[in-house]
Amino acid sequence: MSAHTLPLAEGGCHINANCGFPAPGLNSFDFKPIFSIGSIDFTKPMLLAVICMLIVVGFFWTAFAKPKLIPGKLQLVGEIGYNFIARGIAREVIGKKGDKYIPFLMSIFFFVWIMNIMSIIPLAQFPATSRFAFPVALAALVWITYMFLTFKTHGLKGGVKNLVWLDGLPKPIAPLIVLLEFIQNVITRPFTLAVRLWANMFAGHMLIVMFSVAAWYLLTPSFMAAIAGGSFILSVAMTAFELLIQFLQAYIFTLLASIYISGALEEGH
Amino acid sequence: MMTFLASGGPQNPLIPEPTELIIGLLCFFIVFGVLGKKLLPNIQKTLEERRDAIEGGLERAEAAQAEATRTLEEYKAQLAEARHEAARITEQAREQGAMIIAEMREEAQRQREAIIAAGHAQIEAERRQVTVALRQEVGRLATDLAGRIVGESLEDAARQSRVVDRFLSDLEVKAEQTQGAAT
């Protein structure tokens, strides 16, 4: 049993070697600490988060530190990214007032996207966002921003009204709607924001690991090799698919953040 | 699965690990700080400058064109005015010339008449002078002659003069009568 619980396809465990399928599970998301300071363990996802931070900062530093009127290649790429967030999200969703929140949205998008992409980068091969803490940290920041802006724009009473009240609400169902609105805006929104990102990355990583492990497990000199090949092709296909999902989830996260900010800034509900 | 839990393996994946939470926040704030404080203001400024350069260039070109058109209009107007002015001056000069010529002609006429009149007057005066002189001379000659003929000198000068005058007046009357008869 202990042999089966070895992480993934460590060693030469194949289907004919009289050993069970080492199904990937939650253990795929737990790492031995790289080093520990007292009781605090520094693990691979943390290292990846730091690396992602360095990549985002490094890229935009080289692109934007000394911007030129006629952009170089890197600056041009950076500008595409900037315009994507500034025009595609901030201006589109929030409007002119959204210009103030471009740095926030842009940091979220690129930090999340790069952390997601780590899923398919060789050696890294793990999306940091599939550790729940990272989406939670970012969703918490979005939630705090959302609440802060709501009360800053509308005051205490107006802010509460903005969160729970709908105009033209019929009296009899008012209490129910107020309750639902409160749950939706104050509790569900940050929770789903974090879970959506985490679950997508978690599942995506799990799929890739699953097919990769299966390909290795089934790779024996028998007809199983064909299935192993199929599994391998699937893992490649999943990797390509994940590339899309990673971008999409980062985009959705940023888009929802901007929608919440827009809702907080809106006059009336 | 049970062995994992028993051996302190994977936890509930929905419980965020505090260390990761802190590192995630820290990393995000570094990204947010660098992008928000330095890099994005940089690129925003550059994009603004670029937009300005492009639109500003177009605006400047338009302004230059408008300026050129206006200058051309101005020049045309000035040219037309200058032509008009020139025509006016020529016309004026022509009028003035004609006037000067007319004046000079008139002046010349006047001068000629004056000269002629002066000549006439002088001739008249001279004629009168000559007449007087002649009358005296003729009187004296006639007296001389008469004295010589009569042989006696008339003593009284006054009478002598009266006689001569009467004689001459008779002569003049006779001459006028003949003249009047002739005409």
A116-157 pLDDT, tens digit per residue, is 999 989 888 899 999 999 999 999 999 999 999 999 998 888
**SS3 state of residue B1:** coil
Helices (DSSP H) in A23-171: which residue ranges?
44-64, 73-85, 102-117, 133-164
Distance of alpha carbon A98 from the chain centroid: 22
Residue of B nearest to A51 (CA): B27
In chain A the first and final C-alpha atoms are separated, in Å, by 58
Q: Taking CB atoms and an 8 Å limit, are A103 and B35 in contact across chains?
A: yes
Query: What b-and-e string marks burial along A220-243, b requiring 16 or more CB atoms within 10 Å of the CB?
Result: eeeebeebbeebbebbeebbeebe
CB atoms within 10 A of CB A179: 11
Mean pLDDT, chain B, integer:
84
Rg (CA), chain A: 23
Residue B61, domain member (yes or no): yes
Confidence band for B72, pLDDT divided at 50, 70 and 90: very high
**SS3 state of residue A40:** strand
Facing B40 at nearest CB: one of A26, A106, A134: A106
Q: Taking CB atoms and an 8 Å limit, are B31 and A104 in contact across chains?
A: no
Is residue A212 a contact partner of residue A161, using CB atoms and an 8 Å limit?
no
Confidence band for B148, pLDDT divided at 50, 70 and 90: low
Distance CA A90, CA B140 (A): 144
Facing B35 at nearest CB: one of A5, A68, A106: A106
Q: How many CB pairs under 8 A join A and B?
A: 128
- Phi then psi for A246, rounded to 5 degrees? -60, -45
Confidence band for B10, pLDDT divided at 50, 70 and 90: low
Is residue A20 a contact partner of residue A217, using CB atoms and an 8 Å limit?
no
ipTM above 0.90, yes or no: no
Facing A134 at nearest CB: one of B24, B36, B49: B24
CB atoms within 10 A of CB A110: 25
Facing A69 at nearest CB: one of B13, B39, B53: B53
How far away is chain B from the Cα of A61, in angstroms, using its nearest Cα? 7
Residues of B within 8 A of A56 (CB-CB) are 31, 35
Note the pLDDT of residue B124: 92
Q: Taking CB atoms and an 8 Å limit, are B40 and A40 in contact across chains?
A: no
Query: What b-and-e string marks burial along A135-163, b requiring 16 or more CB atoms within 10 Å of the CB?
Result: bbbbbbbbbebbbebbbeebeeebbebbb
**Which residue would you say has higher pLDDT here, B1 or B116?**
B116
Distance CA B24, CA A119 (A): 17
Residue B3, domain member (yes or no): no
Is residue A81 a contact partner of residue A107, using CB atoms and an 8 Å limit?
no
Give kind and range of the element (H or E) at residue A18.
none
Q: Check if B54 contacts A (Cβ < 8 Å).
A: no
Q: Which of residues 11-30 of B touch A (CB under 8 A)?
A: 11, 13-21, 23-25, 27-28, 30
Note the pLDDT of residue B7: 42
Residue B10, domain member (yes or no): no
Residues of B within 8 A of A63 (CB-CB) are 39, 43
Q: Check if B36 contacts A (Cβ < 8 Å).
A: yes
- Phi then psi for A37, rounded to 5 degrees? -115, 105
Q: Taking CB atoms and an 8 Å limit, are A103 and B32 in contact across chains?
A: yes
The number of distinct structural domains making up chain B is 1
Note the pLDDT of residue A261: 93
Q: Is pLDDT at B9 greater than 60 in this prediction?
A: no
Q: In whole angstroms, how far apart are CA B168 and each of A5, B147, B165?
A: 186, 17, 5
Residue B118, domain member (yes or no): yes
In chain B the first and final C-alpha atoms are separated, in Å, by 176
Distance CA A241, CA A245 (A): 6
Domain that holds residue B103: 17-176
**Which residue would you say has higher pLDDT here, B152 or A46?**
A46
How far away is chain A from the Cα of B59, in angstroms, using its nearest Cα? 18
How far away is chain B from the Cα of A84, in angstroms, using its nearest Cα? 13
Interface probe, candidates B23, B26, B47, B50, chain A, greatest A C-beta count within 10 A: B23
Note the pLDDT of residue B182: 67
| pLDDT < 70 stretches in chain A | 1-12, 16-18, 268-269
How far away is chain A from the Cα of B76, in angstroms, using its nearest Cα? 42
Q: In whole angstroms, how far apart are CA A119 and each of A207, A209, B15?
A: 11, 10, 21
Q: Check if B47 contacts A (Cβ < 8 Å).
A: yes
Facing A132 at nearest CB: one of B13, B27, B39: B13
Facing A132 at nearest CB: one of B4, B14, B30: B14
